[in-house]
Amino acid sequence: MKIKTFSIILFLLFLLQKSLFSSECNYYVIYKVDKNKIIAEYDSGERIYRKRYGFINKEGKIVISCKYEDGRDFSEGLGAVMLNGKWGYIDCSGKFAIKPEYDEALEFSEGRAVVKIKEKWYIIDRNGRIIKNKSFNLGYNSYYKEGMMKVANGDTDNIQKYGYIDKNGNLVIPFIYSVSSENFNEGLACVNKAGKYEFINRKGETVISRVKILSENGSNIYMEIDKCKSFSDGYAAVKIKGKWGFINKKGELVIKPQYEDVRNFSDGLAGVRIKDSWGFIDKKGKIVIKPQFGLVYGFNDGSAVVERYIDICMLIDRKREYLTKFGFVCNGNVVFNNGVYKIYHIKHIGDMGSADWFYLTTTGKIIWKGDDIIILKEKELKELGVAFKK
């Protein structure tokens, strides 16, 4: 009876946490250009105009008007925005949930967000309360994953060490790892300790230090890990003697090292590079989409962004059929957030680089795009040799 009651309590706590971090308003940031306000003008004649930022939903409908000086995508029901030179957080209705008082503010993750106050980084909760009233050596890639965040020890020289803090800001794994160490995923983290790669658990204990390989005569051979990536879909990529393969959580080699580069598994497939071309394999190591692309990103909900030509991308499904009959410039990052791709385009103006972006659904529909986004039509793609099924 006690066990049953305890299970019910755990389930109710889970529902409470789910409601607190609701994804019902995972809105996406957009902008509107004000051509009456010129910020900069270059010798080429190109001008930079003032922008105001707002938000759309997954259908592309504007839900919060463009009235902020800057903004970030919503996360866990809150969106970071800049107003009068300071950052704060608004809720789903557009009202400030945390007043604008920060010099920088990043997206929430697991009920925590990283903010900047007078050149120092802090961690706050959803009420804007600073955790532990202590600054950390953080940055734009700092976020919580599975209750842990990678942080630096604060040294300003070139020998920074990294450790992990919990959600209360307590250092739980000491500063003994290098910058190439990764965040936790599926209970483990790939870390680099004094040039040696291994996997640790949330207690900081080494779980996998070498890869176990079954030899032809049935005996076990153990190999050092040259490099590793996070676990995903139960597998982690490891580099052994210059080639990439995959291991399971027992440290056993499941796909032998044979690739020049790899992506993590997602949706049961992983991008792999053979010579100069990328394709996809399944979890048995079988090639399901032959190498033919200049670059690939992971599968999400049955779709993946692939580079068809240099900096020209398209969206494909698991059968390698094109989900878009248009191409798009993708020389920046590709982020998948709550069922929508955010695809960046870096435009160079003089010595400056300017990032623009657009949003693409997993079925290939553009729900919003910035002014500088370049879209190639079907006719232009056919001239480049792209073949579409009739």
Looking at the DSSP assignment, which residues form a beta bridge with residue 30? 54
Distance, in Å, from the CA atom of 228 to the CA atom of 270, rounded to the nearest integer, reads 15
Distance, in Å, from the CA atom of 199 to the CA atom of 227, rounded to the nearest integer, reads 11
Mean pLDDT of 100-114: 97
Residue 212 main-chain phi, psi, to 5 deg: -90, 125
In this structure, is the dihedral angle defined by the CA atoms of residues 148, 154, 158 and 159, taken in order, positive or negative?
A: negative
C-beta atoms surrounding 217 within 10 Å:
6
Work out the pLDDT band at 259, boundaries 50, 70, 90.
very high
Chain centroid offset of residue 143 CA? 11
Q: E strands of 84-219, at which residues?
A: 86-90, 96-102, 104-105, 113-117, 120-124, 149-152, 162-165, 171-177, 189-193, 196-200, 206-208, 210-214
HSE-CB of 162 using CA atoms within 13 angstroms? 21
Under a CB-based contact definition with an 8 Å cutoff, are residues 53 and 30 in contact? yes
C-beta atoms surrounding 9 within 10 Å:
10
- CA nearest 105: which of 56, 69, 133? 69
Averaged confidence pLDDT in the chain: 89
224: pLDDT strictly greater than 90? yes
pLDDT in tens, 10-62: 344 334 444 444 447 999 999 999 888 887 777 767 777 789 999 999 999 99
- CA nearest 271: which of 216, 206, 221, 318? 318
pLDDT value, residue 39 = 75
pLDDT value, residue 298 = 96
pLDDT in tens, 310-330: 889 999 999 999 999 999 988
- CA nearest 259: which of 229, 221, 234, 233? 229
Higher pLDDT, 45 or 297: 297
Q: Read off the DSSP letter of residue 158.
A: S
Most confident of 134-138, 233-237, 311-315: 233-237
Tokens 């804007």 belong to residue: 128
Residue 338 main-chain phi, psi, to 5 deg: 55, 45
DSSP 335-366: EEETTEEEEEEEEEETTEEEEEEEEEETTS-E
Higher pLDDT, 304 or 214: 304
Q: What residues contact 257, with CB distance under 8 A and at least 6 apart?
A: 238, 239, 240, 241, 242, 243, 244, 245
pLDDT value, residue 350 = 56
Strands 340-349 and 295-296: unpaired
pLDDT value, residue 349 = 58
pLDDT value, residue 49 = 77
